[in-house]
A = this chain, B = another copy of it.
Amino acid sequence: MVAAATRQQIVEAADRLFYERGFEATSFADIAGTVGLSRGNFYYHFKTKDELLDAVITHRLLKTRSMLDGWEAKAEAPDERILSFVNLLIVNQTKIMAHGCPVGTLCGELAKLDHIAKSRAAELFDLFRHWLSRQFRAFGREAEADALAMHILMRSQGVATLAAAYCDEIFVRNEVENMRAWLAAQRPGTPVFPETHSQQHS
């Protein structure tokens, strides 16, 4: 097999395992077992674990950028695009309830480890942040675009954390509904509109 393909397999396996088990808890042996390679052979593709982590983050950055570009290419209204982001909580519900948000948990782990790659992992947040900011600007909330982007990013992180702690999909649906209502209330020129709270939660 050509090196680039093997490398890609390794990165994708590491991507999944870093998400499911965490960076530190995933060993080279785990990834080797998944890919079907010998342990020792890793050194040919990645000199250190940090180098592998860097490749995984780069891979995630590319995947994320391409997803966001895809959403932006669609001829949708900006608020509908923002809803695409919110809907990630529903689309990836099962994984999120099991392992949290891939971005949030990675940044959290790297923060605790005081790892050099922490700032690079935070670029994943930046991708969402600036994309959301752009949508809010197009939405007509130029001045507050970044704060609104941070707000919705914050909410999705909070939902993901509690979803993983409680494994409660009704809560997730409920809060996604709240985010939709909140977003509707952000339309500029809309008369005052209180944030509603659906109460289907058990």
Residues of A within 8 A of B (CB): 20-22, 24-25, 98-100, 104-105, 107-109, 111-113, 121-122, 125, 143-144, 146-148, 150-151, 153-159, 161-162, 164-166, 171, 174-175, 178, 182, 185, 192-195, 197-199, 201
Contact = CB atoms under 8 A, between A and B. Distances in A.
B162 A199 contact: no
A154 B150 contact: no
Given A182-B195, A197-B147, A199-B143, A109 B158 contact: no
Contacts of A25: 24, 112-113
A198 to B, nearest CB: 7
A111 B125 contact: no
14 contacts: A22-B113, A24-B24, A25-B113, A100-B112, A104-B161, A121-B165, A122-B165, A144-B197, A150-B201, A156-B158, A157-B158, A158-B158, A185-B195, A193-B194
A195 B198 contact: no
A115 B113 CA distance: 20
A165 B201 contact: no
Contacts of A113: 21-22, 25
The 4 closest A-B pairs by CB, nearest first: A158-B158, A154-B158, A157-B158, A157-B161
A115 B20 CA distance: 13
A25 B98 CA distance: 21
A154 B164 contact: no
B199 A144 contact: yes
- Which of A121, A154, A164, A185 gathers most chain B CB within 10 Å? A154
A2 to B, nearest CB: 33
A101 to B, nearest CB: 8
A161 B195 contact: no
Contact of A104 (B144, B153, B165): B165
